[in-house]
Amino acid sequence: MAKIENSQLGDDDHLPSIEEICNTTWEPIYRFIYYKVQNREEAEDITQETYIKAMSHLQSGKVNPSKYIGFLKTVALNVLRDLWRKKKRRGTAVNIELINQMDDTAEDPAEMSAQRHLIENALSKLNKEQRTVIELRILKGYSVAETARLMNKKEVTIRVMQHRALQMLADILK
Amino acid sequence: MENNERKVSDFIDRLNKEQQPDEDEYSTESDELKELYQTVKLVKSVKDPTMPGPDFQKKLISSVKSEASRKRPQNKRKWAFFISIASAAAIIALIVNVMLPFGNSNIVNVMADAFEEVEAYHGTLEIVEMNANGKSTTQVKLEVWADKNGHYYIKNLEGSNKGLVTVNNGEKKWQVHPHQKQVHIFPSTPDGYRFNFELGNEINNVTNALATNVIGEDTIAGRKATILEVTPKGGEPYQIWIDNETKLPLQKQTAMHNAIQYKITYTEIAFNNTIPGKLMDYQLPKGFEEIDKNSEQVVTDINEVQEAVGFTPKTPRRLPAGYVQDRLVVVPSRDVAKIYYKGEKGKRIVVSQGESNGEFKPAANAILGKIDNNTAEIQSPVQDFVGMLGGGDPYAEGTNVNSIRWQQDGFEFAVVGNTPLEELVLLTEGLTDGEFKMPTVDEQEFSPQVEVPYDLTKEKNDQKSVDAGSSPWKLDPVFVAQVFVSLKISPDGIIGDYPISMDELEVIKNTGDEAIIAVSGDKTSIKKVYLKRLVRQDITGIWTVVGYDPA
């Protein structure tokens, strides 16, 4: 994770500019948000929203520059939670407290590494075809048609296989 | 079940394309799908994130800045309130501020804060012309209704256009000409006309001025007022009278040009919640003819646009903060599609697009940027109504309407709005998926082989003459280059046509303060002319030749 030093963002006599704050902090914040949403489009929008919400506080001088990234992550999480609440209002009534592990603030590299290990372990418990379909579709990003061609199966079969594989993974990861 | 299989597959496809899914674990009503969507994200999280494009940082900074400037007045008000409860000294200062004339430092903020509280206003505006001998003539008296969303109703009570009514209700703009028994219809946006001394515009001008100074006290229409001298970024200083009670502008006096100056006064003004609905509703008066100069036809969706003009218009992937799509229109006579977006406080952006007709020729005075490898014409504010910018309502010179125009993939696009250029840039980037580059000229590029000496005192005097309305051609870099090259060809003076024509001159760089003009043909050995805005670096600044390249 990028560590922001006071010297990068000015001293007590010089409050950092918008450029200085964005240039030195955007990458860890974007990565943090991407981890939650897993797509670039939403990650870009939410990163932007986060900085818009946070900037007046950061520029007020009340937040220590060494705490900028922590502060921005908290704001990002609030933006994400607002978004999730809005989606829930449009959809079914789900208890907001039942936010899954993706929604936690866990950002510790050790925890992330443990989670990665957990997922890889779960994948290894699938049969070969199921693992292949998940690897091709999600990890390598192939379309259903491409995956069907590579696995010499019909598209409908690929959809069924990936559905079952994900059900199994969900059970393993519970 | 089969439906869920497809939904999960669609969800994976969207994430693979790095796009927001149509449905996710928070919006689905199915418990099974919620669990599967979460699992897909967990699996995908093993991969490294896809990082944004190279210009993301730039876009991020631009949007944060744009939002920060939008919020500034509110923050100031909150801040003032904070101080008032936190500190007794500040309370006293606030009382003094209310009771006594303003101090120099806070007058602009106080005025902006006061306007924040205004929803609408109604008054009588008088415009008086004064000559250098002190003789005054009332030019026009107007009844004005205006609100902070940019809607207005103006009726000419006295003057050459007595009875003329001009209305813009945000959807339509029209003028009722009682003598001709005609009603002329115009597009509501962008509306360059507005009217003189519109309070929001006036306060913006003061906020953006180079300097403001309190120079005295006066009584206008029975109201005590403070006189403020405003030095704008372009042009001569003018004076504005600010009501000591309402903290809003009451009167403005322009600088004297060619022995004439104008005094514009609200002889009456009152503040309301809204403009009466009957003034904002369009109705063709009995016996009047409707003349539609607008020729825009509102359509309901993109399919209708496609049917009307034969192509599917591009829509921006994202909008600047606070904007929503307002309406879609087509101009069948020109096969042009327009998408109107509306923001807060009367801000509007219009995206126009149509198949390109021939070579792209940017306006002579435009700043030239790049969208991918295409030239982008940037006018801030709009002065020349060329290409996709033409064919609509005339925009007034010196208004706050900005534009970006370019050609790409056989189409011409124009993004126009009464908004800061940064917001237009954001929308343009969202529209093109391309990289937008504002112009820069590096020193290596701007290094003429032959330097042309100049006298800065003379240039400053020339600038004053141009400010007063003389030699407007000095504001056009192509014209200045044409005169320079022509005088090199005919040093004794130009008789008849210029020996070098405009067609032989092409702007290859224009950053707004530096320009390079390429010269073609064999009438001269000069191949490039280098110009600078030496005195003032905005649209009111004159251009001076500082060098050239011989062949």
Separation in Å, CA B218 to CA A15, B168, B204, B403? 41, 34, 23, 40
Give the residue from A39, A45, A80 with the most B CB atoms within 10 Å of its CB, the best one to mutate.
A39
> Chain B within 8 Å of A149 (Cβ-Cβ)?
no
ipTM: 0.87
Tell me, what's the pLDDT at B387? 66
The tokens describing B291, both together, are 């003349």
Query: Which residue's entry shows tokens 């007063």?
Result: B468
Would strands B505-510 and B211-220 be described as parallel, antiparallel, or unpaired? unpaired
Q: Which residues of chain A does B16 touch, with a Cβ-Cβ cutoff of 8 Å?
A: 137-138, 141-143
Q: Which of A80, A78, A57 is nearest to A68 (CA)?
A: A57
CA–CA gap between residue B274 and residue B146 (Å, rounded) = 8
Tell me the three state secondary structure of residue B242: strand
C-beta atoms of B75 and A56 within 8 A? yes
Tell me, what's the pLDDT at B271? 87
The tokens describing B205, both together, are 């001008």
Domain covering B296-437 assigned CATH 3.30.200.100 in the classification: yes
The dihedrals phi and psi of A48, each to the nearest 5 degrees, come to: -60, -50
Tell me, what's the pLDDT at A92? 40
Q: How far is B13 from chain A (nearest CA, A)?
A: 7
B72: closest chain A residue by CA: A56
> Where on the phi/psi map is residue B174: left (φ > 0), alpha (ψ -120 to 50), or beta?
beta
The gap from C-alpha A149 to its chain's centroid, in whole angstroms, comes to 31
Q: Which residues of chain B does A23 touch, with a Cβ-Cβ cutoff of 8 Å?
A: 57, 61
Tell me, what's the pLDDT at B385? 66
Q: How far is B264 from chain A (nearest CA, A)?
A: 38
Would you tell me how many other CB atoms lie within 10 Å of the CB of residue B255? Answer: 14
CA–CA gap between residue B402 and residue B382 (Å, rounded) = 5
B75: closest chain A residue by CA: A56
C-beta atoms of B27 and A115 within 8 A? no
C-beta atoms of B45 and A43 within 8 A? no
CA–CA gap between residue B245 and residue B222 (Å, rounded) = 12
> Chain B within 8 Å of A41 (Cβ-Cβ)?
yes
Would strands B450-451 and B505-510 be described as parallel, antiparallel, or unpaired? unpaired
Give the residue from B2, B12, B82, B426 with the most A CB atoms within 10 Å of its CB, the best one to mutate.
B12
- Walk along chain B (551 residues) and give the pLDDT tens digit of each residue: 568 899 999 999 999 989 889 888 888 888 899 999 999 999 998 888 899 877 888 889 888 887 776 655 443 333 333 333 333 333 333 333 443 344 444 788 888 888 888 889 999 999 888 877 778 888 888 999 998 888 899 998 987 778 889 998 887 888 898 888 888 887 776 665 567 788 888 888 888 788 888 898 998 878 899 999 998 876 778 999 999 888 899 999 988 766 778 889 998 888 888 898 889 988 889 889 888 766 777 787 787 888 888 888 988 888 888 888 888 888 877 888 999 898 877 788 999 999 988 888 888 778 888 888 888 999 887 777 666 666 444 333 345 788 999 998 889 999 998 888 888 988 898 888 777 787 766 667 888 999 999 999 899 888 888 877 777 888 889 999 999 998 888 877 777 778 888 888 988 888 888 999 999 988 888 999 999 999 888 778 899 999 999 87
Query: Which residue's entry shows tokens 């509280």?
Result: B117
Residues forming beta bridges with residue B124, ordered by sequence position: B143, B268
Separation in Å, CA A166 to CA A104, A133, B78? 21, 10, 51
Contact between B466 and B475 under an 8 Å Cβ cutoff? The reply is: yes
Checking A152-158 for CB contacts under 8 A at 24+ apart, the result is A158/A133
A110-132 pLDDT, tens digit per residue, is 667 788 888 888 999 999 999 99
User: Residues in chain B, how many?
Assistant: 551
Q: Which of B412, B430, B437, B184 is nearest to B319 (CA)?
A: B430
Q: Give the best-scoring range by mean pLDDT among A13-22, A36-45, B460-469.
A: A36-45
> Chain B within 8 Å of A139 (Cβ-Cβ)?
yes
CA–CA gap between residue B133 and residue B182 (Å, rounded) = 40
Q: Which residues of chain B does A132 touch, with a Cβ-Cβ cutoff of 8 Å?
A: none
Q: What angle do CA B343, B283, B172 make, to 5 degrees?
A: 25
Q: Which regions of chain B carry the CATH code 2.50.20.10?
A: 115-272
CA–CA gap between residue B500 and residue B484 (Å, rounded) = 10
Query: Which residue's entry shows tokens 């609100």?
Result: B147
- The more confident residue out of B469 and A143 is A143
Query: Which residue's entry shows tokens 């200085």?
Result: A20
Tell me, what's the pLDDT at A50? 93
> Chain B within 8 Å of A94 (Cβ-Cβ)?
yes
| Candidates B27, B47, B59; nearest CB to A90 | B27
Contact between B290 and B402 under an 8 Å Cβ cutoff? The reply is: no
Q: Which residues of chain B does A160 touch, with a Cβ-Cβ cutoff of 8 Å?
A: 5
CA–CA gap between residue B358 and residue B212 (Å, rounded) = 48
Q: Which residues of chain B does A94 touch, with a Cβ-Cβ cutoff of 8 Å?
A: 26, 34
Contacts of B145 (CB under 8 A, 6+ apart): B120, B121, B122, B152, B153, B154, B275, B276, B279
- Tell me the pTM: 0.47
Contacts of B404 (CB under 8 A, 6+ apart): B369, B376, B377, B378, B414, B415, B421, B424, B425, B428
Residue A90 has pLDDT above 70, yes or no: no
Percent of chain B exceeding pLDDT 70 equals 87
Q: If DSSP states are collapsed to H, E and C, what string results for B304-358?
A: HHHHHHCCCCCCCCCCCCCCEEEEEEEEHHHCEEEEEEECCCCCEEEEEEEECCC
Q: Which regions of chain B carry the CATH code 3.30.200.100?
A: 296-437
Instruction: Output the furthest CA–CA distance in chain B (Å, rounded).
Output: 89
C-beta atoms of B44 and A138 within 8 A? yes
Would strands B165-168 and B152-158 be described as parallel, antiparallel, or unpaired? antiparallel
Q: Average pLDDT, whole number, for chain B? A: 81
C-beta atoms of A141 and B16 within 8 A? yes
Tell me, what's the pLDDT at A99? 36
C-beta atoms of B64 and A55 within 8 A? yes
Q: What CATH architecture is B115-272?
A: Clam (2.50)
Checking A157-162 for CB contacts under 8 A at 24+ apart, the result is A158/A133, A159/B5, A159/B6, A159/B8, A159/B9, A160/B5, A161/A129, A161/A130, A161/A133, A162/A133, A162/A134, A162/A137, A162/B5, A162/B8, A162/B9, A162/B12
Contact between A103 and A80 under an 8 Å Cβ cutoff? The reply is: yes
B66: closest chain A residue by CA: A52
Would strands B289-292 and B182-186 be described as parallel, antiparallel, or unpaired? parallel
Strand order, beta sheet including B136-147: B211-220, B223-231, B238-243, B249-253, B260-272, B120-131, B136-147, B152-158, B165-168, B173-177, B182-186, B289-292
CA–CA gap between residue B81 and residue B94 (Å, rounded) = 10
Residues forming beta bridges with residue B414, ordered by sequence position: B352, B405
Tell me, what's the pLDDT at B324? 87
Q: What DSSP letter does each residue of B389-407 carry, written as one string?
A: G-SSPPPPTTSS-EEEEEE
Q: How far is B423 from chain A (nearest CA, A)?
A: 14
DSSP label at residue B58: H
Residues forming beta bridges with residue B239, ordered by sequence position: B229, B253
C-beta atoms of A55 and B4 within 8 A? no
Separation in Å, CA A83 to CA A41, A46, A79, A93, A174? 14, 9, 6, 14, 25
| Candidates B46, B63, B64; nearest CB to A139 | B46
C-beta atoms of A139 and B52 within 8 A? no
